[in-house]
């Protein structure tokens, strides 16, 4: 036998408020949007639609300047960047090396998956169109640094020129 509960006036207001927290029409609209995205992605995959909004390949915009570096990052955000011959390029404090240390952590993850040390050399490159990127010859890791903001890209631009 179903038990009915008599709510006090305050409890009734809370129950009604909770029903209105996320309107049903909004929930349905979100599911419809997810379904539309799934259909579009499925169509693109089934028809082998080429990727768009990707940076040009190295064939289209060649590398004009390159430097091979080793990155060492700490959890506090400090980082050191060393040339392959052992010359210290930059010793970044925790308030200025956070992005470089973050790149080191990404390299740890990517290279750890294939059994390599994160401090192996990585190529820092400038393309003919001015973009700066990182290329890892040990894994398929590629990073176009313009996507991380002008300040973060400028840190690596200084490393490329020093």
Per-residue pLDDT of 52-86, as tens digits, reads 777 777 777 888 999 999 999 999 999 999 998 98
- How would DSSP label each residue in the chain? -PPP-PPPHHHHHHHHHHHTSS-HHHHHHHHHHHHHHHHHHHHHHHTTPPP-S-PPPTTTS-EEEEEEEEEEE-TTS-EEEEETTS-EEEEE-TTT-HHHHHHHHHHHHHHHTTT--TTS-EEEEEETTS-EEEE-SSSS-EEEGGGG-HHHHHHHHHHHH-
Taking Cα atoms as reference points, which of 84, 41, 91 lies closest to residue 66? 84
Mean pLDDT value across residues 21-48: 92
Asked if pLDDT for residue 28 goes beyond 80, the answer is: yes
Is 111:138 a contact under the CB 8 Å cutoff? yes
Instruction: Give the pTM.
Output: 0.66
Percent of the chain at pLDDT exceeding 90: 45
Side-chain half-sphere CA neighbours of 6 within 13 A: 0
Lowest mean pLDDT among 28-32, 35-39, 112-116: 112-116
Strand order of the sheet with strand 88-92?
88-92, 79-83, 63-73, 122-127, 132-135, 142-144
- Write down the pLDDT at residue 95: 87
């Amino acid at each position: 036998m179903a038990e009915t509960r008599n709510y006090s006036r305050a409890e009734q207001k809370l129950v009604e408020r909770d029903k209105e927290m996320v309107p049903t029409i909004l929930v349905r609209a979100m599911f419809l949007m997810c379904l539309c995205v799934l259909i579009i992605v499925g169509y693109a995959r089934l028809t082998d639609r080429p990727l768009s909004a990707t940076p040009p390949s190295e064939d289209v915009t060649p590398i004009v300047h390159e430097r091979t570096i080793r990155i060492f990052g700490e959890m506090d955000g400090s980082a050191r960047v060393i040339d392959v011959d052992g010359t210290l390029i930059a010793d970044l404090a925790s308030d200025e090396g956070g992005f470089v240390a973050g790149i080191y952590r990404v390299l740890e993850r990517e290279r750890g998956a294939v059994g390599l040390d994160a401090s192996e050399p990585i190529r820092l490159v400038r393309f003919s169109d001015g973009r700066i990127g990182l290329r890892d010859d040990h894994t398929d890791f590629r990073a176009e640094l313009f996507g991380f903001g002008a300040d973060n890209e400028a840190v690596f631009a200084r490393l490329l020129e020093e």
